[in-house]
Structure 1
Amino acid sequence: MSTATLPAAPAPEGAELALHDVRLGHADGAALPGTVALRIAPRELLAVVGPSGCGKSTLLRTLAGLLPPLDGRVTQDGEPVARPAADRALVFQHDALLPWRTVHANVELPLAIRRVPRAERRRAAGDWLERVGLAGHGHKLPHQLSGGQRQRVQMARALASRPRVVLMDEPFGALDAHTRAGMQDLLVDILQGTGSTVVFVTHDVDEALYLGDRVALLATGQVLDVPHPRDRDAQHAPGTAELRRRIIESL
């Protein structure tokens, strides 16, 4: 899978995210056990892994400002995160595209909400569709695309507004192994020029080790450095193999 090289706007400065002894959960349900203390550096890609029910998706929604913490504080660049903001984008496992809007119109949507002039948002949407390898597909409706293509549209939509933070909730979990590997490579390629801070939730240990600068084990509270981030040739290197063993044991 290849992408075209296009002139890019200056990358936004990635934001610092922090959780200060945060207790995760819903106000009308049980709190998740323990508290989370975590700092995510600007431009870092933090992969978050853990068993089902440990709070990975809850963590993302709390960082997004969709779900207030039950205790503790969540901050972005030192300021409280109290509500959703335009500079934080969410990417879900299911593409969440609007089925009645064309691919191009779906990518334009966050720019239209921010009242970006029509010509500018059309140009930006076209550029991003080209970057994700979907030039010529802008007139189609989502149901006319494959699952991998819809996820590429979702990535283009999330990144077209140049967010400082991208929160990704198992975005490739429903894809077959070949398509998933291609999407991982595409994500790495695209993120090289965005400047965004990324939090990437996954059940897949190998995906976490490939994409992440660090891996957070939410169930145990550990945060581990990845020795060779975004290097497929390093998957059998001693440091990577040992880290993989430690993560699997923690699960």
Structure 2
Amino acid sequence: MSLRLTARGLSLGHPGHPVIEGLDLDVAPGELLTVLGASGCGKSTLLRALAGLLPPTGGELLADGEPLRGPSAERALVFQEDGLLPWRTARRNVELPLAIAGSPRSERRAPALGWLERVGLAGHGDRLPRQLSGGQRQRVQLARALAGSPKALLMDEPFGALDAQNRQAMQQLLLTVREKEGCTVVFVTHDVDEALLLGDRVAVLGEGRLLALHEVPRPDAARPELRDHLLASLS
């Protein structure tokens, strides 16, 4: 399952002091859109609005053509900080969206363990977050987000704090999971190479507006020119 996300003339921020103004953007169902831009350009603000945590000050924000009003289980937010509950084991953290959805306790364990196995953490279900590495905690966060069967994943620089090896592993894991699940992904980053590796398209934000929207070339050999263009747009 996947979700279409649409912004029409979207403004975000405070009246008279917009962070984003007049944004038009359409994210197709099942697309992985990377959002690129310098710090303070409104990337995270846009993601919070898509999650339903920040109401528009102008324009429209739609999910499958309907006005987006407030948070919903169909849109899961993944942060740079893992946000795990430190008193809950990895398995019980993954069970959280199932509990919120009203799933009986007896029916949560198996799917939670299944998701931990899918993200490479079989056998880690009884560990507390403090007993896990940074990369492992991010895997738990991804498993928790996916356990609720969302139609869209909204990811705010989720791999930015990881070392190079763990970051590469998580990028490949995201691509694998996304291919199998088919959900829509909006992935915020400030890293051009990450944006090109993951995205079907790259949206470039700057000065509170959409500066450019690029299809990511396939095959990979066709990317260097776009990479140079994106780097220049961020300088």
Query: If the TM-score is normalised by the length of the shorter chain, which range does it land in?
Result: over 0.9
SS of residue in 1 equivalent to 2:168? helix
Equivalent in the alignment of 2:225: 242
Equivalent in the alignment of 1:56: 43
Equivalent in the alignment of 1:40: 27
Contact residue 36 and residue 221 of structure 1 kept, 8 A? no
SS of residue in 2 equivalent to 1:218? strand
Tell me the percent identity. 60
Equivalent in the alignment of 1:206: 193
Q: Does 1:176 align with 2:163?
A: yes
Contact residue 92 and residue 170 of structure 1 kept, 8 A? yes
Q: Does 1:227 align with 2:217?
A: yes
Contact residue 61 and residue 67 of structure 2 kept, 8 A? yes
Q: How far apart, in 2, do the equivalents of 1:34 and 1:196 lie?
A: 27
Contact residue 24 and residue 71 of structure 1 kept, 8 A? yes
SS of residue in 2 equivalent to 1:163? coil
Q: How high is the TM-score relative to the length of structure 1?
A: 0.89
Deviation at 1:30, TM superposition (A): 2.5
Equivalent in the alignment of 1:4: none
Q: How far apart, in 2, do the equivalents of 1:15 and 1:101 lie?
A: 30
Q: How far apart, in 2, do the equivalents of 1:24 and 1:76 lie?
A: 17
SS of residue in 2 equivalent to 1:248? helix
Amino acid at match of 1:14: S
Query: Mean Cα displacement is larger for which, 119-128 or 75-84?
Result: 119-128
Equivalent in the alignment of 2:142: 155
Amino acid at match of 1:22: L
SS of residue in 2 equivalent to 1:84? coil
Q: How far apart, in 2, do the equivalents of 1:164 and 1:221 lie?
A: 27
SS of residue in 1 equivalent to 2:122? coil
Deviating 4+ runs (over 6 angstroms): none
Unmatched tracts of structure 1, length 5 or more: 1-12
SS of residue in 1 equivalent to 2:24? strand
Q: Which one has a larger percent strand, Structure 1 or Structure 2?
A: 2
Structure 2 counterparts to residues 54-133 of structure 1, below 5 A: 54-133=41-120
Contact residue 30 and residue 182 of structure 2 kept, 8 A? yes
Amino acid at match of 2:36: V
